[in-house]
Structure 1
Amino acid sequence: MLERYSLPEMTRIWSEQFKLQTWFRIEVLACEGRAKLGELDGDIVKAFWASEPEIFDEQRIKQIEAEVNHESVAFQMYIEELADDKCLGIFHRGLTSSDVLDTCYNYQLKEASDLIITKLQNLAAEFKRLALEHKLTPCIGRSHGIHGEPITFGLKMLRAYAETQRNITRLENAKKEISVGMISGTMGTYSTINPTVEKYVCEQMGLEPESISSQIIPRDRHAMYFTILGVIAATLERVSTELRQLQITEIGEIQEPFSSRQKGSSAMPHKKNPILLENITGLSRLIQTHVSAALGNVSLWQERDMSHSSVERALGPDTTITLDFAIHRLTGILKGLVVNSQQMANNLEKLGGIVYSHRIMNTLTERGVPKDDAYRMVQSASFKAIESGSNLLEVLLRDKAIQDWVSQEELADLFDLKYFQKEIDGIYERVLGPGNQGAC
C-alpha cells in the first residue's frame, strides 16, 4: 500500500519483520507443544528461543530463496544457520508450510481487526456527538436529490452512528470467524503431528484450531472477512458522498476542515474543495473491489493450490491498511466539521414552504376530500408557488377550494417545523437507549 495512505500501527502488522517474527513464534511454539508431549527435549526448545535474532536478516532469507525458490524453506534454512547444532533437523518437523503461513496470516488479520474496531468506535463517537449536538438542527430531507420534508442534521448523523455500530458488530463476528489457526500437517490429517500441538499453538496465539482443514485453512472464512471490510467501506463511501453533496456551493450546509494556509485550487483562490471527503470516497471504492478477489480465492483445487497466495499478499495489507486510514481520516473530518445551521434553515425555506405539502394533503383527506383530489389540489398550489416564487401558504390562502375544507388559521398552523420533530426523542432512544437521547 502507498505510504501516503498508511498509518504506522497497521503498517507494522504487515511488515516483513512482523511476519518473520510470527513465523518463528509459530514454529517454536509447535516445538514447545511437542516437548510437552515428551517428543522433544525441552533444552532444544530453549535453544530455538535463544536463537531468535533481534532483527531477522531479510536479505539473507532472500538469498537462500533465490537458490531454493521456496520462501518457507528459505526461512527454515536461515533459522538452522542461527540455531545450535543439536537443533538441526527438528525445526518444522511434522509441519507443512501452510501450517505456518495460514496461521500467521490469520493472526495478522485478527490483529488488524482490533485496530479497525478501535477506529470504528472512535468514528461512532464522533457521529454520536454530532447527532446529539444537532438533534434539533432543522434541515431539508431530500429524496432523489429533490427537497422532500424537514428533518434534522442530527438524524443524518444518528443514522451514520447506527450504521457504524452495526459495522462494529459485523467486524467483531468476522474477527471471530478469521481467528483460527492450523497445525495439521500435509493434507490436514495430522499424520505427522499430534492435534494437541495445534491446540497449544493456537492457544498461545489467541486463536481457535480450525475445525477441519485440508492443507490450508478454508478460504470461505477469508471471503466473509473481506466482504465485511467491503461493507464498512461502503458505509464510508455513503457518508463521505453525502457530506460532499452538502458542501456543494448551491447547498453549502457543511464544510470539511480547511486550514488557514491551505489552498483549494492551483488556479482559483476562492475555492474550498472537499478533497478529504473525495479521498475517502475513492479509497472506499478501492477496498470494495477487493471483495471479488477474496471470493475468488474460495475455489481452490482439491486440498490446496497456490492461486490464492499472490492475491493475499496484496489483499491483506492493502485492504486493512487502506480501510484503517480511511476511517481515521473521516473521524478527523467530523472532529473539525463546520455545520452551517443558518444555511440549512435558508435551504429549508428556499422553495417557499412547499415541503409542508404532504401534511396539507393529509389534512384535506382527514376532512373528507378524496385522496386523489386532495393530491391534485395541493400539487397545483405547490407548482404555482414554485413558478411564481411565492410562498405556498400565500397561494393556499387565495385558494377558495382548499379553504372550503381548511380555515386560514388552520392552514397557517400546518406550517410548523415542530410537527416533524414530534417523534425524534423516540428515534434517539431506540438507537442510543433510554436516557441517552440528549436533551431537547
Structure 2
Amino acid sequence: MPSNPIDSHLLKDQFGTEAMRAIFSDEKLLQNWLDAEVALARAEANLKLIPQEAADEISQKAVVANMDFETIRKGIKETSHPLITVIRELEKVCEGDAGGYVHWGATTQDIIDTGLALQVKEAHQLLLDQANALLNVCLKLSEEHKSTMMPGRTHGQHALPITFGYKVSIWADEIGRHIERMEQAGERYLVGQFGGAAGTLASLGDKGLDVQKEYNRLLGLKQPTVTWHAARDHYAEFSMIVAMLSATTAKIANEIINLQRTEIGELEEGFEMGKVGSSTMPHKRNPMICEYIVSLSHVVRRKASLGLDCMIQEHERDMAFWQTEWSYLPEVCILTSGGLEQLQGVLENLIVHKSRMEKNVYITKGLIVSENVMLGLGKYVGRQKAHDIIYEASMRAYEEDRPLEAILLENEELLAYMDEKTIQTYTNPATYLGLCETFVERVLQKWRTVSC
C-alpha cells in the first residue's frame, strides 16, 4: 500500500511522472545491481581473472525475473545488509560453479553505488529531455510575444514598460543555463564505483585498474580517478543542479500565479470546462497547477540539501549518511520531473491576455515612463535637477490621480525646454521599450539549436 504522494494512486500524477518513477522502482534498482554484477564478471573474464563460462552464466541468469523479491526483502531485514541476499540469490540460480565467481573482488558499496549511478544516469537524461522541451516552449512563447507590451515590475510596483516576450526570454535563458550545467557536470557525476573493501582494489592486484576501466566501459559510466566511497560530492552537485532546475520551475509558476491575480489578469492557466477552482465558490479559476509546481519545489530544495550532509563521511566508508542518498535522490528527481511536466503543460496552454497587459501599462497614467521624461529633461538641466522636477510632478500625479502628461504641461520650468508634442512622445510607453526585442532575438539565437 503506497504511503507517499509520489507513489500514491490518488496523488502521484501531481507529484511525479511515470517515466521517472520507473527509473527508481524496486525492479529497476535490483536490475541495476544485477547489471553491475554482470559488468564485473564480464570485465574480469575479459582480463582472464575468472572463467569466461562463469561470466556467461552470470550474465544469462542476472535478470529480475530470476530473483525472488520476497526472499530478498526478508533477507535485507534479517541480515541488516542491503546486498548479501541478492548475491546469494544470484549465486543460487547460476549453474555449475559460476555462482562462486559472483561479486569477485567487489564490496557491497561498489554495487550499490554503481546501481544508483545507473539510475542517476537515466534520471539525468530524462531531466535533460524535459528541460529541453521546456526551453523550446519558452522560446516559442518569447518569439510570439516579443512585441507584446506589458508593465515591468520591481518591488511589486510598476517600473518601466517591457514586453512579455522579454520576460519569457529571461526564463528561457535560465533554463538553458541549467541544461549547460547538467551537460558539463554529467562528466563529473556519471561515474561508476569499483574499489573493493577499502577502495584500494587490493583484491585484484595489478589488474585492479584494468578491471575498473572495463567495468565502467561496459556500463557506460565514467571511470573515477580514485575510489569515491567516502567522497559524495558527485551526488551533492547533481542534487544541487536538480534543485536549481526545480527552483526555476517554481519561479516561473509563481510569476504566473501573481500575473493571474484578479486585479492584474495578464496571464491565466489554460482553462476548459470541468476544471474546478473551488469546492465552494463556483466562480473561481485558480492557478492550481502552478501552485502544485511551487509546492513540489519547496520539498525538492529541502531534500536536495541532504546531498551536502552526505559529503560528511568518516574514514574510508560510512553508511550513516551514505544510505540517505537512496531516499533523497529518487525524491528530488521524481518531484522535479513532475514539476517540469506540469509546467510544460501550463506554458503550452497558457492564456495570454494581451489587451489586459496593454491596459495595465496605462493604469498609472504615464508614470511608468517618468524615467524617460527625466532623462529627456536632464539633457538641458542635468540629471539630478531633472529628477527633482519629475519627482514632484509624479507625486502630484499620484495624489491628484491625474495623467503625468497633464501635470507636466502645467510646469513652466519644464515647458521652457519641451513643447507639448515632445512631452506627449516622452510619456508614451510604446516609445520606451528599450532593447526588449533585441534581447529576445539574442536568446533565440543562443538557445534555439539547443532545444531542437
Using structure 2 for the length normalisation, give the TM-score.
Answer: 0.92
Which residue is 1:191 aligned to?
202
Using structure 1 for the length normalisation, give the TM-score.
Answer: 0.95
> Cα deviation per residue 1:394-425 (whole Å; 9 max; x = unaligned)?
11112212111211121112123343235334
Tell me how far apart the structure 1 counterparts of residues 99 and 131 of structure 2 sit (CA, whole Å): 47
Unaligned runs of 5+ in 1: none
Instruction: Specify which of 220, 240, 247 is matched with residue 206 of structure 1.
Output: 220
Pairing 1:378–2:394 present? no
Which residue is 2:353 aligned to?
340
The share of aligned pairs that are identical, in percent, is: 28
Tell me how far apart the structure 1 counterparts of residues 147 and 37 of structure 2 sit (CA, whole Å): 59
The alpha-carbon distance between structure 1 residues 227 and 410, as it changes in their structure 2 partners (threshold 3 A), is same
| 8 Å Cα contact 2:53/2:98 also seen in 1 | no
Which amino acid in structure 1 is aligned with residue 34 of structure 2?
A: F
Which residue is 1:280 aligned to?
293
The alpha-carbon distance between structure 1 residues 210 and 57, as it changes in their structure 2 partners (threshold 3 A), is same
- Runs of 4+ residues deviating >6 angstroms: 434-437
Which residue is 1:30 aligned to?
40
The CA RMSD over aligned residues, in Å, is 1.8
1:276 deviates by: 0.7
Unaligned runs of 5+ in 2: none
Pairing 1:414–2:426 present? yes
Task: Give the secondary-structure state (helix, strand or coil) at the position aligned to 1:150.
Answer: strand
1:64 deviates by: 2.6
1:9 deviates by: 1.3
Instruction: Specify which of 141, 146, 151 is matched with residue 152 of structure 2.
Output: 141
Tell me how far apart the structure 1 counterparts of residues 421 and 144 of structure 2 sit (CA, whole Å): 34
Which residue is 1:62 aligned to?
73
| 8 Å Cα contact 1:183/1:195 also seen in 2 | no
Task: Give the secondary-structure state (helix, strand or coil) at the position aligned to 1:89.
Answer: helix
Which residue is 2:132 aligned to?
121
Instruction: Specify which of 49, 55, 59 is matched with residue 45 of structure 1.
Output: 55
Pairing 1:301–2:311 present? no
Which residue is 1:360 aligned to?
373
Greater Cα shift, 174-183 or 260-269: 174-183
The alpha-carbon distance between structure 1 residues 416 and 435, as it changes in their structure 2 partners (threshold 3 A), is farther
Instruction: Specify which of 3, 19, 23 is matched with residue 9 of structure 1.
Output: 19
Pairing 1:252–2:262 present? no
> Cα deviation per residue 1:148-175 (whole Å; 9 max; x = unaligned)?
1110011010000000000111111232
The alpha-carbon distance between structure 1 residues 403 and 226, as it changes in their structure 2 partners (threshold 3 A), is same
The alpha-carbon distance between structure 1 residues 436 and 195, as it changes in their structure 2 partners (threshold 3 A), is closer
Query: Of the two structures, which has the highest relative contact order with CA contacts closer than 8 Å and spacing of 6 or more?
Result: 2
1:102 deviates by: 0.8
Tell me how far apart the structure 2 counterparts of residues 436 and 394 of structure 1 sit (CA, whole Å): 45
1:374 deviates by: 1.6
1:196 deviates by: 1.2
Task: Give the secondary-structure state (helix, strand or coil) at the position aligned to 1:142.
Answer: strand
Tell me how far apart the structure 2 counterparts of residues 310 and 28 of structure 1 sit (CA, whole Å): 23
Which residue is 1:161 aligned to?
172
Tell me how far apart the structure 2 counterparts of residues 31 and 156 of structure 1 sit (CA, whole Å): 54
Task: Give the secondary-structure state (helix, strand or coil) at the position aligned to 1:149.
Answer: strand
Q: Between Structure 1 and Structure 2, how many residues are aligned?
A: 435
Which residue is 2:162 aligned to?
151
